[in-house]
Amino acid sequence: MFKRIVVTFFFLSLILIPYHNTYSWGVWGHQHINRAAVFALPMPMRTFFFDHIDFITIEASIPDVRKYGFNDRNEAPRHFIDLEAYGDHPFDVLPETWDSAKAKYGTKGLDKNGILPWYIPDMLNKLTEAFRDQDKVRILFFAADLAHYIGDAYVPLHTSLNYDGQLTGQKGVHALWESLIPELFGKDYNLHTAPAAYIQNPVKETWRIIHESHDLVQTVLSTDKKLLDTWPEDSIYETDSNGKIVKNKYHEARFTDNFAKAYSEELHGMEEHQMQLAIQSVADYWYTAWVDAGKPDLSQLDDSYTNKVHRKALKYQYHLWQTKGKLIGIKPEMEY
């Protein structure tokens, strides 16, 4: 049954990802975050997750499929929070827990402005329960989904009302930052991180991530604005032989590779750094759920043959990640 579920979601991803909106890390980013986080786990967690690393990788973008492919209204608010909607000092007024926030603002109001920092701890609790029940299907689904939302939390524009520069004449900056740049230059990223560590207070840790990401919003936008104001338009956007601006498959103007490179250089590798932090956090949250569940024996969830077949591949891929920060066996769809 589990194999059938994996195959079903694999084909759903192939069918529906083309409808994926640009307001997320993108397929490249989410899949690399999920896959790299597996290697930051301690044994025996690493063995179990590596046995299912292709599923963990592919399922990384399924929350976006639910959001855009299925038009799931419940899904959309889970990916962001518009902090400016709560005034000039949102962290002073926003309750850290969901129950307190719901009592203060109501579910409808919270959904309108996004619930990302409250949804991550909720998903962590679900993953912990799945570990405690030693339910393989739920463990893998919740782990991959949780990783997606953590990844979103490390995208600065997921914390802002001006999420695509639409309020300041910078439409397209979201996809430029989190999708086009990683696709163009991600092959040079070092995705190695420290080993997973236990999170003492996941609620406060989640809000710390949101706060630090939001602190980067002004830099993301002002750097883009500076380049837009100084570069000629035909150097900013790709044009065809007739001089018309080329559109990507989402019908948005496509930035030139040179502009994307200049923007990335002006940000001094911010995208790579945020991705590294996301990988570390994903591993930390997975590990925390496992510890809080009592460190269940995951080796019983797969047969010994599966573990034996993957042992050599795990050793090689772990060494590659540990020494060079590189991943193999991953070929996500290039969206831009």
- Evaluate if residue 165 carries a pLDDT over 90: yes
Residue 274's pLDDT band (cuts 50, 70, 90) = very high
- Is residue 165 assigned to a domain? yes
- Is residue 329 assigned to a domain? no
What is the domain range of residue 237? 2-324
- Is residue 332 assigned to a domain? no
Distances, alpha carbon 278 to alpha carbons 29, 118, 191, 218, 229, in Å: 10, 17, 10, 20, 31
- Is residue 333 assigned to a domain? no
Q: Using CA atoms, how far apart are residues 125 and 119, in angstroms rounded to an integer?
A: 10
**What is the structure's pLDDT at 71?**
72
- Is residue 99 assigned to a domain? yes
- Is residue 239 assigned to a domain? yes
**What is the structure's pLDDT at 24?**
63
**What is the structure's pLDDT at 141?**
97
For the full predicted model, state whether its pTM sits above 0.75.
yes
In tens, the pLDDT along 169-221 reads 999 999 999 999 999 999 999 999 999 999 999 999 999 999 999 999 999 99
In tens, the pLDDT along 4-14 reads 444 444 444 44
Q: Using CA atoms, how far apart are residues 12 and 84, in angstroms rounded to an integer?
A: 35
CATH code, domain carrying 62: 1.10.575.10
Residue 32's CB is within 10 A of a number of other CB atoms, namely 25
Q: How many structural domains compose the chain?
A: 1
- Is residue 335 assigned to a domain? no
In tens, the pLDDT along 29-83 reads 999 999 999 999 999 999 999 999 999 999 999 998 887 777 778 899 999 999 9
- Is residue 65 assigned to a domain? yes
Q: 304 Cβ partners below 8 Å, 6+ apart?
A: none
